[in-house]
């Protein structure tokens, strides 16, 4: 396998993991801490 291809795959996986973790964090925070002051 080409090293550059591996790096591209790894970066793609990392980006997906970060996106999932961010989404889960936002959902959990919005559930645990209901917004008392609206953000605009």
The pLDDT of residue 31: 79
Question: Is residue 22 assigned to a domain?
Answer: yes
In which domain, by residue range, is 10 found?
1-31
Number of domains observed in the structure of the chain: 1
Closest by Cα among 36, 18, 14 to 26:
18
Question: Is residue 13 assigned to a domain?
Answer: yes
Question: Is residue 9 assigned to a domain?
Answer: yes
Question: Is residue 39 assigned to a domain?
Answer: no
Question: Is residue 20 assigned to a domain?
Answer: yes
- pLDDT above 60 (res 40): no
pTM as predicted: 0.57
Give the confidence band of 34 by pLDDT, cuts at 50, 70, 90. low
Give the confidence band of 1 by pLDDT, cuts at 50, 70, 90. low
State how far the Cα of 2 lies from the Cα of 8, in Å rounded to an integer.
10
28 vs 36, more confident: 28
Q: What is the mean pLDDT of residues 35-40?
A: 61
- pLDDT above 80 (res 39): no
Question: Is residue 38 assigned to a domain?
Answer: no
Question: Is residue 40 assigned to a domain?
Answer: no
Q: Read off the tokens for 37.
A: 């002051």
Question: Is residue 21 assigned to a domain?
Answer: yes
């Amino acid at each position: 396998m080409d090293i550059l291809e591996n790096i591209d795959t790894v970066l793609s996986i990392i980006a997906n993991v970060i996106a999932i973790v961010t989404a889960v964090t936002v959902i959990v925070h919005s559930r645990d801490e209901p917004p008392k002051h609206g953000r605009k």
